[in-house]
Amino acid sequence: MLSREIRTVLGLMSGTSLDGVDAAILHTDGEVIHGFGPTAYRPYSEAERASLRAALGCWPGDAGVDAVAEVIETAHADVMARFEGVDMAGFHGQTLAHDPRGRGTHQAGSGAVLALLAGYPVVWDFRSADVRLGGQGAPLAPFYHFALARHIGADAPLVFLNLGGVGNLTWVDPRKPTPEAEGALLAFDTGPANAPLDDLCLARRGVARDDGGALAATGKPDMQVVRDFLRDPFFLRVPPKSLDRDFPGLSARVAHLGDADALATLAECVAAAVGAGFDHLPQMPSRVLVCGGGRHNGDLMARLAAHLPCTVASVESVGLDGDMIEAQAFAYLAMRVARGLPTSGPATTGVAAFVGGGEISSP
């Protein structure tokens, strides 16, 4: 177990949007952020992305999973080779399936393989211990969000909203002394985010996304679809709670709509889901800071502003890099694992007690 020293940790994240690998250096002792370092992005090729899509929903031992794991490891090794002076890495892996109340959670890719290739320790498999102990295994960034809130000097409760393939929020009270303190955090998945929008664009138009939400902005949402969507029992469940990448039945609900109207309807569903999540917060936040790819979608950001009762802005407004927060989070969590500190708790994943998940592989 490491002592409280500042280390240079590389965080690696490949999210449910399946676009590529984010990599970011964080200087931290696992409690305080002491500085940010270089970042890099390694996109998946079309062939790699197709193989990942084909493996969604697969579990260890299923046909083709080992080959997909090799694709993931190769992409991560490529980006790791760009960094020097790294003490340790945090490797999230690629989520292929997530069923915390059933079969568990599956992040493909081996940290042991990456440790051998990189020549330094790699912390990985962050979610399994939490799920084994009754937690949702997600979201895992909240402890890092607490550190970020302290780093930017926040003095009132705020929300970090991550819009990746799935949306998740963290309500943070930075006045608390630690993320483990009672009332410091509440976190949960809000609902779908970029995944259904991107999937529709790929299926209907052969493009990866609706850049900036330009097409959605020209459409008209079908509000009956939105109202029916919000009746899903998920939105009434008390958090913490989590989702897999695909929200059941959502794509079928917009099948009758033209492209622009379908995208506008899906974007309205995403924003309305976040608004519904605010009903569960212990106190209204002073502001919402948005990270993840969804913050580049101007139409979606406008819809969020219309649904939420406080200021909505990208994390760049406070000097942070919204593309790299998830990668930084796994650098931070890796350091916490190395120090034996918890990485999740009852208010973030619903686990019964604080858990320090993660396996450490040495070269």
**CATH ID of 153-318, from 3.30.420.40, 3.40.50.10320, 3.40.718.10, 2.40.50.140:** 3.30.420.40
216 vs 195: CA distance, rounded Å: 15
Over residues 97-132, the pLDDT tens digits come to 988 888 999 999 999 999 999 999 999 999 999 999
281-319: pLDDT as tens digits: 999 999 999 999 999 999 999 999 999 999 999 999 999
| Options 3.30.1330.200, 3.90.1150.10, 3.60.20.10, 3.30.420.40; CATH of 7-137+325-361 | 3.30.420.40
Q: Which of 101, 22, 13, 94 is nearest to 56 (CA)?
A: 94
> Position 108: which residue type?
A
Share of the chain above pLDDT 90, in %: 91
Nearest to 112 by CA among 63, 58, 64, 73: 73
> Per-domain residue ranges for the chain?
7-137+325-361, 153-318
At 192-205, the pLDDT tens digits run: 999 999 999 999 99
Q: Is residue 327 within 8 Å of residue 23, measured between CB atoms?
A: yes
DSSP β-bridge partners for residue 355: 344
pLDDT of residue 175: 98
**Alpha carbon 305 to chain centroid, angstroms:** 21
3 — pLDDT class (breaks 50, 70, 90): low
Same fold, 7-137+325-361 and 153-318: yes
- pLDDT of 1 over the 80 cut: no
Q: To which H or E segment does residue 288 belong?
A: strand 287-291
Task: Show the 3-state SS of 75-134.
Answer: HHHHHHCCCCCCCEEEEEEEEEEEECCCCEEEEECCHHHHHHHHCCCEEECCCHHHHHCC
Strand pairing class (122-124; 88-99): parallel
**DSSP alpha helix (H) spans, the chain:** 46-55, 65-80, 111-118, 128-132, 142-151, 194-205, 223-230, 250-253, 259-277, 298-307, 325-339
Give the C-alpha separation, 298 to 212, whole Å: 5
